[in-house]
Amino acid sequence: MMSVRRARKSVVALATGAVAALVFVSCARQATPQQGASPSPQSTPAATIDPNAKPSEGWKPRDPALPPAPSAREHSITIEATEEVVEVAPGVTQEMWLFNHTYPGPVLRGKVGDVFKIRLVNKGKLGHSIDFHASKVAWDDEMRTIQPGEEIVYEFEAKHAGIYMYHCGTPPALHHIGNGMFGAIIIDPPGLPPVDKEFVFVQSELYLGPQGQPGSYTKMRDFQFDTVVFNGYYKQYLFSPIRVEPGERIRVWVENAGPSENSSFHIVGTIFDTVYKEGAYVLQPGSGKGGAQALDLQPSQGGFVEFTFDEPGQYLIVTHKFSNVDKGAVGVFQAGEPGAPRKEAPVTKGGQPVQSPTGTGEASH
């Protein structure tokens, strides 16, 4: 037993040493201290979300529709890094750290064999960097931190299909990712069949700091998130349901950006007949094949699901980790016109029909 314990201790010591070395190297690569990396002052309370509040006047949802990959095989893209105050929930603003002024960053898409030439321009006040999980490049080369006013070209060939996370990796990476510096890049699997509609959802959690200020690094380290969101806004597609039609074949790409929480992506009222996760099909349609109810994703993992809606009505989009539904990870697909005729399920009380409250177009949750 003693020798096993000693061996375990050695492994732990080795691992601890490796982590310490990584942290040291990470810190050594910083040319200047990160202004935003210190915990929020205790005196200023963190912003809180009012579950009954509505988005501000003029609020526009992030369009979840996913356009096809551009036909060009080389993608030259400029991405600006900034820090900007954005609304993340009704009445709640945070200073988010952004790629191309959006939280999450832009969705990029290409095919296996495509070349991406990403020009990262730092227009912010902090050091930033970018790390594409879809690439195979050295961490201390393309992923280097650049200071305000600097730029770097990050070039890679997309050799493997999948939906990948990209993110700022500047130390502490937890603070930069937790504060919004991430996005998704999709590399289509060869032979990806056409569908009627494609959407993309990026799940992430927010650790609110004071109103208009960066998220709390202390809360990020303690895993004390306030909300879980799809595409960067609390209950976004509950406030603005996504319109589709019954019978349409739909593909939804999902990326779990975290930084630390997992996802069990589920849509209430349908079954996935196709599941693709981390570069491989887990399920494909066919006679006698099974169905899938949830796509499970750890932080940074991604995939897609395909399905149809069989009748008009509302279909909730959730992570089936239900405490996070209450925290904001909920939306709705509206199949057909709200209130479109359908064969309503009969409800009775004492043998008498009860009037159905459904079909009003108002999402319940």
State the minimum distance, in angstroms, from the CB of residue 174 to Cu ion. 11
Counting residues that bind Cu ion (by CB under 5 A) gives: 5
Q: Among residues 184 and 363, whose Cβ is nearest to Cu ion?
A: 184
Q: Are 142 and 169 in contact (CB under 8 A)?
A: no
- Measure the CA angle with vertex 108, ends 232 and 26; round to 5°: 75
State the minimum distance, in angstroms, from the CB of residue 81 to Cu ion. 6
Please report, as a single letter, which amino acid is at residue 182. F
Find the DSSP H helices in the chain.
2-28, 173-178, 217-221, 236-239, 323-326
Q: Does 334 bind Cu ion (CB under 5 A)?
A: no
**Which of 94, 122, 170, 227 lies at the binding interface for Cu ion (CB under 5 A)?**
170
DSSP code of residue 217: H
State the minimum distance, in angstroms, from the CB of residue 129 to Cu ion. 6
Give the residue among 175, 205, 227 at the shortest CA–CA distance from 40: 175
Q: Among residues 8 and 125, whose Cβ is nearest to Cu ion?
A: 125
State the minimum distance, in angstroms, from the CB of residue 21 to Cu ion. 22
Task: Count the Cβ atoms, other than its own, within 10 Å of residue 288.
Answer: 4
What SS3 state is found at 163?
Answer: strand
Q: Among residues 177 and 318, whose Cβ is nearest to Cu ion?
A: 177
- Measure the CA angle with vertex 275, ends 272 and 280; round to 5°: 175
Residue 289 in tokens: 């094949």
Q: Does 62 bind Cu ion (CB under 5 A)?
A: no
Q: Does 128 bind Cu ion (CB under 5 A)?
A: yes
Q: Among residues 168 and 283, whose Cβ is nearest to Cu ion?
A: 168
Q: Among residues 170 and 231, whose Cβ is nearest to Cu ion?
A: 170
Please report, as a single letter, which amino acid is at residue 264. S
Q: Among residues 46 and 168, whose Cβ is nearest to Cu ion?
A: 168
State the minimum distance, in angstroms, from the CB of residue 91 to Cu ion. 26
Contact region for Cu ion (CB under 5 A) — 131-139, 162-170, 321-329, 344-352?
162-170
Contact region for Cu ion (CB under 5 A) — 30-38, 171-179, 241-249, 310-318?
171-179
Q: Does 177 bind Cu ion (CB under 5 A)?
A: no
State the minimum distance, in angstroms, from the CB of residue 232 to Cu ion. 16
Q: Among residues 86 and 238, whose Cβ is nearest to Cu ion?
A: 86
Q: Does 176 bind Cu ion (CB under 5 A)?
A: yes
State the minimum distance, in angstroms, from the CB of residue 152 to Cu ion. 13
**Which of 46, 165, 168, 363 lies at the binding interface for Cu ion (CB under 5 A)?**
168
Query: CA dihedral in degrees (71, 75, 76, 78; nearest 10)?
Result: 110
Residue 125 in tokens: 């006040």
Give the integer Cα–Cα distance in Å for 311 and 324: 27
**Which of 181, 185, 254, 275 lies at the binding interface for Cu ion (CB under 5 A)?**
181
Give the integer Cα–Cα distance in Å for 134 and 69: 15
85 contacts: CB under 8 Å, gap ≥ 6? 93, 94, 95, 96, 212
State the minimum distance, in angstroms, from the CB of residue 328 to Cu ion. 23
- Interface with Cu ion by CB under 5 A: which residues? 128, 168, 170, 176, 181
